[in-house]
Amino acid sequence: MQEAMIKRAKELLADGIVDRVIGWKKGEFSYDHTPAVFTSAQELDESFVCDDFTSANLSKYLVKETIREGKILAFLKPCDTYSFNQLVKEHRIDRDKVYVIGIPGGPKLDIEKIRARGITGILNVRNENYTLKIETIYGVSEMPFYEAISVKCESCKSKKHVVYDELIGEDGEVLDSNRFDMVEKLENMTSQERYDFWRSELSKCIRCNACRTVCPACTCEKCVFENPDSGIENKAAADSFEENMFHIIRAFHVAGRCTDCGECSRVCPENIPLHLLNRKFIKDINSLYGTYQAGENTTDKAPLNEYKMDDCEASIVHERGAE
């Protein structure tokens, strides 16, 4: 697929349809590719990559890219197209300045899952018929491909692209995902068990802000966490209250706009399962206001932005909580 992508990108550049391309650039190792903008066929040949480690969602980068002149080609996986649509809906991406090519999704790999096996000094990872051959400075290790897939791909919600100008490969379907299973388990805990679960996770937070920085729903010009008057500006949390508040405030800020892209959990250096917090909000919105998928299209009003006479009342939430 990588060859087909490079070939099509070169054609679109040569025809003047786009003047640059956003994709992934080869890293120093086979597993640390990064998002990058390419402006020539030569750059594409030298360093463009699309493989098992190109997980990063490119949509958020288009907020800044579409402020610039010209048109950019973006390669988007199915999950990324939801973020893209949501940002178009919020007027953060100028749709006319992007040529979207939909590409098949993962599952993509997470190098941290390989390291969690105690495999260190990793030089190269190869996928041979869904067995990973991991070359390290100590020799070659192996593990099954599916035991190293990223958390977001474990419960993929859709293989269908919700927006594209053209596709490379086949389009897929919306999946009957298991993404709310763990949320239900948390809901079935006692409040003390649930509190203990989240404290044990959130206490690991080093407040690096990677989750906020990567999140396509966090595109505020001036984030509340950078406002010195807020009392919660960028800094290591002083106590457990501040640790909790950072995450609760951020989850409320993205409620109804979070597409469940999984980027926050993917980048967290402490492996905090942030997606569970956001999925709890998604699940609650579904049950209180009707099933809603942020980013599915650019037209539907989000439940939290719309008032209906039959909207739930606070008392209903209270009754449900008391069950």
Q: How far is CA 190 from CA 77, 186, 197, 314, in A?
A: 38, 8, 11, 21
Smallest distance from the beta carbon of 265 to ligand SF4, in angstroms? 7
Confirm or reject binding of residue 224 to ligand SF4 (CB under 6 A).
Answer: yes
Is 205 near ligand SF4 (CB under 6 A)? yes
The mark string for 255-274 relative to ligand SF4 (x by CB under 6 A, - otherwise) is ---xxxxxxx--xxxx-x-x
- Min dist. Cβ of residue 136 to ligand SF4 (A): 26
Q: Is 73 in the site for ligand SF4 (CB under 6 A)?
A: no
Kindly determine how many residues on this chain lie close enough to bind ligand SF4 according to the rule CB under 6 A: 35
Q: Does 254 bind ligand SF4 (CB under 6 A)?
A: yes
* CB of 311 vs ligand SF4, minimal distance in Å: 23
Rule CB under 6 A: is residue 232 a binding residue for ligand SF4?
no
Least separation in angstroms between residue 306's CB and ligand SF4 is 19
For position 217 contacting ligand SF4 by CB under 6 A, the verdict is yes
Using rule CB under 6 A, residue 110 touches ligand SF4: no
**CA 164 to each of CA 5, 38, 49, 251: distance values in angstroms, whole numbers, following the listed order:** 14, 20, 20, 29
Interface with ligand SF4 (CB under 6 A): 205-212, 214-218, 220, 223-225, 250, 253-254, 258-264, 267-270, 272, 274-275, 278
